[in-house]
Structure 1
């Protein structure tokens, strides 16, 4: 059985007394992580929802709220800009996410890297999780981590306002952006998703690139015919209805939103003779509605299908990590300020210790590796 963690949308804020402690603890954990694993190792771990969730809970955030992503990522960004650890963060929540390209250029300049590949990657992963993979979540948070060696990771989050849930997308040094590209996806698994970046969608991608070389007017006529069929019209020629399958397909698309073509985007596709799916996704004006429309045409006219499998992965049971200092919303217990301050003092001393002494601490952690949480204390926030 696969387990998933849901991320309900939570409001509220972090009080100053807790934010100060979170900032100190975040910097200490990051220093130790880079010392132990290097910058690449840190990025690998942050792109793993298991490790990210543990980090989030250790600093005192709720285990299952949408704020666990935004607050933790914000703390990490602030800490890495204050510390010279060989890795920096661009982007953030809402308006801050739109500053990502300029911040990436600044980071690339610090590390003597060409910024353009990373700016393109930032745009592309956002397009994948908004357009190419559709599950009803709209992105509102995007952070891009880049180290001095050119390794990168992305943590972005989308919200579904109707269901009041969030979903987190993790990326790390992806070699492909169009075939199972994610490192992981944390969230509540849905019955289906319009997934055009699955390995099962290779034929779909190839056919779509062929179709968009045709006249946008022709594609629009095909779409309008399908809309008419959905409303009960049955043409005498050209299209043979496949009831009830066709109605099920149309309803599935309608559940994700409207399907309207942006003909200007399709004209760009023809003018530029796009030859791969990455180029297509980066087209100006290509949004979720247009891709839904094209996918519907491919399914019902050309009998070519995307994948409908939701690629969400399975974070571990998060309750194990909530017993460090408590949780902001008092789950499983209120923040224990003395314990929090003692932890900070311990780690401050550890940072200054000799490597042999740190090895002793690593051995101590093995003792607690198999600790199990008390099941009767499992309570969602």
Structure 2
């Protein structure tokens, strides 16, 4: 896997430069195709963590002009240290990348909530300062993963539809506060956070009491039958509890935009759920509930290259794998004119479709 991944990276850099590498890693379908090509089944567990781990290892050993930080679990917490080392090597501003890393993780855990808990975060940077983030969350209830892709060249705002793509099964709804439809929500949220946290707490407790049959003396227009549906939605995502210390800090710092608010230490998913509930039922201001998934994980075609580690559509064929590596090693030594022949081969396979009856879950 390391050999083949390294050869693919070498060809990519030669053909498209480091920007082309980052752009492709940020494409959910291309990334999925790569992990299938190197021997992962179309739906194997570990597709993201193993593939990014191999890429990180290859980039560490060879100078392609791209480096990677982070990884799965404990390795993700090493991201700030590794970004400082990479920034030193490429003469970049380390603190800006560390801030970006934290904000990207906060968006996909706090600002966008679908029941998936992040456990993997890999940050790719090239020598020109462009970056790509590939991170993944797991929904423990349905035992499914979701992968989030970011590319610096596509990010106009970290909190307005910032993703290059999201790979996963589309859910019926998601607490999506980074939709373009949530601009009024973000503005009102900042206004609310500037108020005394005790006022927000009282409003939240009133709403919780309503679920137990309490009716407020003052009638608010937003209080109607849909409150039941909303409560159920929020409850399905977890508890709605305020971190008063985080909100007090946000007020003291007079946060002026949503990015700054998300970066406040202690402001997590539970606190945002509580604030969103207050905004919806007291102020009649709403986030989006549309799940922003863009790509279901399914480029099954590419598992036919060498097979899959779990045996779908067939076990990895080591002889074929060795032959492929040998061919690729020869190819990287060839001049550009000879590489044109390979492009012709790709045209032949582009229209090939896999046999539907061979597809099965692993």
TM class by smaller structure: over 0.9
- Give the match for residue 196 of structure 1: 177
The answer (yes or no) to whether the contact 1:184–1:313 under 8 Å persists in 2 is: yes
Q: Please list, as runs of the form range in 1=range in 2, the aligned pairs for 1:166-177 lying within 5 A after superposition.
A: 166-173=145-152, 174-177=155-158
Q: What 5-or-longer segments of structure 2 have no aligned partner?
A: none
Please give the secondary structure, in 1, of the residue aligned with 2:350.
Answer: coil
Tell me which of 106, 116, 122 is aligned to 1:143.
122
The answer (yes or no) to whether the contact 1:144–1:154 under 8 Å persists in 2 is: yes
- Report whether the alignment pairs 1:368 with 2:343: no
The answer (yes or no) to whether the contact 1:66–1:165 under 8 Å persists in 2 is: no
Tell me which of 279, 296, 303 is aligned to 2:277.
296
Q: Please list, as runs of the form range in 1=range in 2, the aligned pairs for 1:1-381 lying within 5 A after superposition.
A: 22-173=1-152, 174-237=155-218, 239=220, 242-315=223-296, 317-381=298-362
The answer (yes or no) to whether the contact 1:142–1:156 under 8 Å persists in 2 is: yes
**Deviation, structure 1 residue 175:** 2.5
Root mean square deviation of aligned Cα: 1.1
**Deviation, structure 1 residue 378:** 1.4
The answer (yes or no) to whether the contact 1:61–1:68 under 8 Å persists in 2 is: yes
> Deviations for 1:269-301, whole angstroms, at most 9, x for unmatched residues?
110100000000000100000000000000000
**Deviation, structure 1 residue 319:** 1.4
Q: What 5-or-longer segments of structure 1 have no aligned partner?
A: 1-21
Please give the secondary structure, in 2, of the residue aligned with 1:55.
Answer: helix
**Deviation, structure 1 residue 364:** 1.5
**Deviation, structure 1 residue 243:** 3.2
Distance in 1, matches of 2:182 and 2:217, equals 32
Distance in 2, matches of 1:302 and 1:326, equals 55
Aligned residues: 360
Please give the secondary structure, in 2, of the residue aligned with 1:368.
Answer: helix
Distance in 2, matches of 1:71 and 1:273, equals 42
> Given the two structures, how large is their TM-score scaled by the length of structure 2?
0.98
The answer (yes or no) to whether the contact 1:157–1:166 under 8 Å persists in 2 is: yes
**Deviation, structure 1 residue 240:** 5.6
**Deviation, structure 1 residue 316:** 6.8
Please give the secondary structure, in 1, of the residue aligned with 2:170.
Answer: coil
Distance in 2, matches of 1:304 and 1:265, equals 22
> Given the two structures, how large is their TM-score scaled by the length of structure 1?
0.93
> Deviations for 1:322-379, whole angstroms, at most 9, x for unmatched residues?
1000000000000001000000000011111111111111122111111111111111
> Deviations for 1:18-37, whole angstroms, at most 9, x for unmatched residues?
xxxx1111111111111111
> Deviations for 1:221-277, whole angstroms, at most 9, x for unmatched residues?
000000000111112225467331111111111111000000111101110100000
Distance in 2, matches of 1:275 and 1:242, equals 30
The answer (yes or no) to whether the contact 1:234–1:241 under 8 Å persists in 2 is: no
- Give the match for residue 7 of structure 1: none
The answer (yes or no) to whether the contact 2:168–2:297 under 8 Å persists in 1 is: no
**Deviation, structure 1 residue 96:** 0.1
The answer (yes or no) to whether the contact 2:179–2:288 under 8 Å persists in 1 is: yes
Deviates more, 1:226-235 or 1:203-212: 226-235
Distance in 1, matches of 2:44 and 2:306, equals 17
- Give the match for residue 18 of structure 1: none
> Deviations for 1:20-63, whole angstroms, at most 9, x for unmatched residues?
xx111111111111111100110000100111011000100121
